[in-house]
Each structure stands twice: as structure tokens, then as C-alpha cells.
Amino acid sequence: MGDKSRYRKMYPISWEQLQRDCRALSWRLMEKGPWKGIFAITRGGLVPAAIIARELDIHVIDTICLSSYDWKNQGSANILKPVQSDGEGWLLIDDLVDTGKTAQIARDMVPAAHFATVYAKPEGRPMVDTFITEVSQDTWILFPWDAASQFVEPIVQVSD
């Protein structure tokens, strides 16, 4: 999850919102296609890539396997699986661009691909060709696969 001390805000995303945002991204990407396939940056890009593949009727999906978010070293990345393409005519999909460090590694792997993310933060935004929602750099985006439903105290009890 990286160094949480740099995040002052939390932006929770529901499954429904994620699907709506991925569909909105698909509309933007449809105008820029047609696409040969999708490179999904694992793991965060897998769910958005599946939704976008459905919406754009793309059946060829590959992965760019990077390990960059660990508990201590956000931004340092390990390439776990190389690819054999420069990405020409392909989409490169991730859930989020944060600092841009992981994005730079992925872009270097497939420099001709069109890089699209659902969410973008200011530091990483210049790395992305197309995105839907920008959030501040100090916001932690809580994706639905990282969250669970739980009881929350009523506002009147919390404000006592």
C-alpha cells in the first residue's frame, strides 16, 4: 500500500462507479481505435482491461507484469514478464497513474501503445494519453477489490 503518511484523503470507489468510469473511458478510446489488443498492467489494470475489452469488443489481451506497490517501496518496480511488441495499435491499461514511475517502466516496454488509465494524479498525469478522473496527489484511491463492507457509526454518534 506504500507509505500511507503521504495520503491525507481517502477516495473510495464502488464496483458500480468503477464500471461507469471504465465505460466512460471506453467511449473516449473508441474514437481513437480500432485496437489490435490490450496490455493490462497487473494487477490493478486487470479489472479495467476486462471491462474495456468487453465494451470495445477486444479479444486479444496480454499482461505487463510489474510489481511496484509493496509495503515499503512504492515506485520501485520489478518486471516479472517481458513482452514481445512495441505496442503499435494496442491499448496499455491501468487503474491509476500515481507518481508515474510504474507508468514509465510500462511505457518503455511498449512505447507505441496508447496508455489509458481510469484515474490519474498530477505527478503521473503527463505519462497518460487518456484518463477519466483526476484526484489530488495526497488522495488514496480505495479500489473495491481492496475494501470490504463494514458497519459505520451514525454521524450523530461520531460527533459526540
The pLDDT tens digits of the residues spanning 5-49 come to 678 888 999 999 999 999 999 999 999 989 999 999 999 999 999
CB 62 within 8 A of CB 38: yes
CA distance 147 to 60: 30
Q: Which residues are catalytic?
A: 94-95, 98
Query: Domains of the chain, with CATH numbers?
Result: 27-145 (3.40.50.2020)
Q: Is 104 strand, coil or helix?
A: helix
State the pairing for strand pair 37-42/61-67.
Answer: parallel
- Global pTM value: 0.84
Task: Supply the pLDDT for residue 74.
Answer: 53
Which residues pair with residue 141 across a beta bridge?
11
Residue 127 has pLDDT above 90, yes or no: yes
